[in-house]
């Protein structure tokens, strides 16, 4: 019943309720981890400006990570928004909601442009970089980006590198390790090979 979409066709790629709950759960867990990360980040913030930007990729990890895990359309943006909602609930205010939404959208667009068929290191990394650019776009309006050219280049250059490392390399290998635990088997879309193996 839950496998059918609105037109009554069997829908192998759409989000079931289980997938949705897991996606939101992944987002919320990231929200908690980001809270601890934020404490670390706040300590480093004033004394080590370069290290601080290199740790920034963590904020972009949630969307690509959820997508690598669940591999269904809409997952990156929902997980990113869920993570942001938790941050908003514990007192980071409305701006994290907007950033979460836009950064999730950035990552989602990259996966969508590969038609949700490629989930390698590079696609995941680019999704993170797209999140980073989406965040930069908001920073322009917020006013964070009106720096001297050299400062702008250093700040966002380091951030792009960091987002690739966190969402490409780190997320990819952690999801690979999660696959080994077997939890992803029941949530990924059913593939053609799975059907053939039944015959």
Partner 1 sequence: MNLFDLFTPHKKTWLYKVNPAVKFVLFFALFMIVFFNQHYQFTMNIMIMSALLLFLFSGYRLKRLLLFSIPIVISIFSTAVTMILFGKGETIWWQWGIIKISEESFYKGLLLGFKSASFGFLGLVFLLTSRPVMLFYALMQQLKLPAKFAYSFMAALRLVPIIIDELQARSNAFKVRGVTFSKGIKGIFERLRLYMLPIFAQSIRRAQRLAIAMEAKRFQIGADRTYYYPTTYQPIDGVFALLLISLSLGAYFLS
* List of residues contacting partner 1 (CB under 8 A): 2, 17-18, 20-22, 24-29, 32-33, 36, 45-46, 54-55, 69, 82, 85-86, 88-89, 91-95, 97-98, 141-144, 146-151, 165, 169-170, 173-174, 177-178, 181, 183-184, 186-187
CA distance 25 to 66: 10
Nearer Cβ to partner 1 (3/120): 3
Q: How far is the CB of 22 from partner 1 (least distance, A)?
A: 4
Contact 94, 134 (CB under 8 A): no
What does the DSSP 8-state code read for residue 8?
A: S
Nearer Cβ to partner 1 (60/170): 170
Give the angle subtended at the CA of 78 by the CAs of 125 and 191, to the nearest 5°.
70
Q: How far is the CB of 108 from partner 1 (least distance, A)?
A: 16
Q: How far is the CB of 63 from partner 1 (least distance, A)?
A: 15
**134, HSE (Cβ side, Cα atoms, 13 Å):** 25
Nearer Cβ to partner 1 (8/46): 46
Nearer Cβ to partner 1 (126/170): 170
Q: Kindly give, in sequence order, each residue whose CB lies less than 8 Å from that of residue 111, ignoring residues fewer than 6 positions away.
A: 64, 67, 76, 119, 123, 127
């Amino acid at each position: 019943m839950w496998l059918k979409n609105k037109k009554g066709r069997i829908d192998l790629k759409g989000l079931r309720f289980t997938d949705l709950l897991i996606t939101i759960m992944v987002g919320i867990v990231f929200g908690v981890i980001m809270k601890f990360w934020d404490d670390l980040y706040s300590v480093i913030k004033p004394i080590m400006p370069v290290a601080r930007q290199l740790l920034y990729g963590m904020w972009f990890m949630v969307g690509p990570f959820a997508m690598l895990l669940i591999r269904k359309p809409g997952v990156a943006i929902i997980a990113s928004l869920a993570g942001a909602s938790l941050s908003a609930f514990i007192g980071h205010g409305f701006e994290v909601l907007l950033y979460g939404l836009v950064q999730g959208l950035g990552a989602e667009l990259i996966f969508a442009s590969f038609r949700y068929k490629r989930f390698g290191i590079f696609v995941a990394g680019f999704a993170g970089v797209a999140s980073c650019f989406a965040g930069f776009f908001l920073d322009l309006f917020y006013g964070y980006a009106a720096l001297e050219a050299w400062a702008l280049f250093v700040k966002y250059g380091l951030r792009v590198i960091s987002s690739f490392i966190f969402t490409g390399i780190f997320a990819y290998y952690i999801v690979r390790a999660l696959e080994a635990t077997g939890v992803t088997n029941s949530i990924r879309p059913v593939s053609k090979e799975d059907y053939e193996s039944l015959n």
